[in-house]
Amino acid sequence: MCGYAGYLIRGAEPPGERVLHEMADVLAHRGPDDRGFYARKVPRTDIHVGLGHRRLAVIDVAGGSQPMSTDGGRLWIVYNGEVYNFREIRSSLEEEGVRFRTRSDTEVVLELYRRRGPRMLESLQGMFSFAIWDARERILFAARDRLGQKPLYYYHSGRRFAFASEIKALLRLPWVPRKPDLDLLPTYLTHLYVPSPHTFFRGIRKLPPGHFLIWKNGRIRVERYWDVSFAGDSPMPRWALARRLEEAVREATRLRLVSDVPLGAFLSGGLDSSIIAAAMAPELRPAAMTFTAGFDRPEFDERSHARRVSRRLGTDHRELRVTPSSLGILRRLVWFFDEPFGDSSAIPTYLLAKMTRPYVTVALSGDGGDELFGGYDRYRAFLASLATDRVLPTSLRQAMGEAVREAPPRPNSGPAERLAVRWLRGIDRPLIERTIRWGQGFSAEGIARLLLSPEDEKERRDPSWFIRDRWERAGDGDAVHRMMEVDLHTYLPEDLLTKVDVTTMANSLECRSPFLDHRLVELAASIPRRWKVGPFRSKAILREAFSTSLPRRTLSRKKKGFGAPIGDWFRSTASGLLKETLLGDKARSRGLFRMDEVERLIREHQEGVAHEHRLWALLFFETWMQEAIDRPPSLTPPPEDGVS
């Protein structure tokens, strides 16, 4: 894993060596092991090129320094990620006469581009983002992996183009504005993240997953090179698919064990992480290492389940206890994330990565299993809503939905009741509206109450435009499969994979996700939905595939998200932080929110109504405004305050 940054400038002076160094060094957490730079004026042109790189050495520790060039210096690459099949590609290229100078996958990517051009992406199996400068053709080619595990941000304005692994590197350039895009505030409040290609900074964009970018003559072109649709059309019988699925998971895991440094795995005790640990454990000697985080609240704590799996697999297991004082990392998280991020599970994920890093440099995870095999409760709720459509008259469903939407929130309701209420609120709505409602933070009604709306509110873009776009692209197949496909292309990369990338790389830890092998994703997409999600069970075929590898209690466990008891913290030790931040003078002076509505959310939460996700989103946003907008960003992250 690594971090990189660079620029291309036509007809203007470059920013200077110090700025290029700052662009790379602000990413030192992504690459503490090495740094390198390339800066040139292209002969007989007015083009200036700058590349900077920070390296976390995982493969070919001694020989993989960057920026790396081909013989003669025509092509230069800065690269972040791992290509797991690089040895096979290398052998193929050697048969074509290529001679390699290093053992790194970076050089393989570079040489493959020299011979295949953009088509080289078809051959890569892994997680990556990179940029290749072709000095002869005066073209920059940049790409991001299929599922969006590794990020790529860029800024383009007239004669200037810049790109980086994180936004903070772009902000070191004097001509990149540091202005929030408040038009995206409704989207953030609805979904708790900002979707590609947007960011919360005006002018700064994210390259979407499965896309590449070409810069030439001051212009850029962005194209999609990969996609997947949940057709569920495999002709194979169920038993054969289950066997093929097990083989594919084990093969994807073996590929992700290629490393010159120690490896381990995150183990929550849930089905997905347990399967990855089970596939990993026989491959590592003397014993695979596993890591888990837990809480004092039993309904959030999975440490006992992780211990059970660890004993079955014989792993060397480590545990972390997360306490309310962990909120002391909030300002630090804001620095690493660069833009508002409303998923509070970033706290335990960051602390788990921090605990893991002293033992290993690479950790495997179970990310992607829920989206591919139907693990979320909302999929079964969606299936139930389809059944009610068939048996209940439209008028009755409308009456039920209106009654629940108008009812005041009930204090101290449990997760099951909250899911039922969310289900009933969408029972009379179109399927796409149900998909949006079951995955949202603030509802449209809640946002209308919260925002001090500008005069042109009616012209504001639909905050769920990207969900609707993907829903339409998913076609007219099985409705639950459509919902899963939407999540795979939106919630997974924009929330979950962003969270994992940021929090692990903040601790100089590489995270690999076998379920996100694109061949495994394509296999999963071909499996009929009825073998994944039913009225009473999820992930049926995945459980079947690993039925002999894990404890029976693990195979039969219900889904439990990796969340923190932040609702309790907001009612106790963090209540002061919440009020001081959200109701303070700085927040009031922005003129963005109705303060009486913010006060109501805090008060109701204290009384037992579950507003923790909405309050966390507001807390992160206001802290981000203070840290990233109100003051110049620092080259280094703030300290962790009061973490134990």
Which residues are catalytic, by number? Answer: 2
Q: Is residue 203 packed enough to be buried (19+ CB in 10 Å), middle (13-18) or exposed (0-12)?
A: middle
Q: For the chain, count helices (H), then strands (E).
A: 28, 17
Q: What phi, psi does 263 have (nearest 5°)? A: -125, 160
Separation between Cα atoms, residue 146 and residue 248, nearest integer Å: 18
Q: Which tokens belong to 166?
A: 């994180």
Is there a cis peptide before residue 286, judged by omega within 30 degrees of 0? yes
Separation between Cα atoms, residue 511 and residue 509, nearest integer Å: 6
Strand order in the sheet with 153-157: 34-41, 47-55, 2-10, 160-164, 153-157, 204-206
Separation between Cα atoms, residue 266 and residue 499, nearest integer Å: 14
The helix or strand, by DSSP H or E, that contains position 502, with its residue range, turns out to be helix 498-505
Q: What is the DSSP string of 303-332?
A: HHHHHHHHHHHT-EEEEEE--GGGGGGHHH
Q: Is residue 390 packed enough to be buried (19+ CB in 10 Å), middle (13-18) or exposed (0-12)?
A: exposed
Rounded (10°) angle between helices 431-438 and 415-425: 150
- Could you tell me which of 452, 192, 556 has the C-alpha nearest to residue 345? 192
Separation between Cα atoms, residue 67 and residue 633, nearest integer Å: 26
Asked if residue 6 lies in contact with residue 52, where contact means CB atoms within 8 angstroms, the answer is yes
Separation between Cα atoms, residue 607 and residue 410, nearest integer Å: 10
The two beta strands, 263-266 and 362-364, are: parallel
Q: What phi, psi does 46 have (nearest 5°)? A: -105, 25
Q: CB neighbours of 403 closer than 8 A, spacing ≥ 6? A: none
Q: Which tokens belong to 629?
A: 């907008």
Asked if residue 306 lies in contact with residue 269, where contact means CB atoms within 8 angstroms, the answer is yes
Separation between Cα atoms, residue 445 and residue 460, nearest integer Å: 15
Angle CA 132–133–139, to nearest 5: 110
Separation between Cα atoms, residue 26 and residue 47, nearest integer Å: 25
Residue with tokens 């690493």: 336
Neighbour count for residue 100 (Cβ, 10 Å): 14
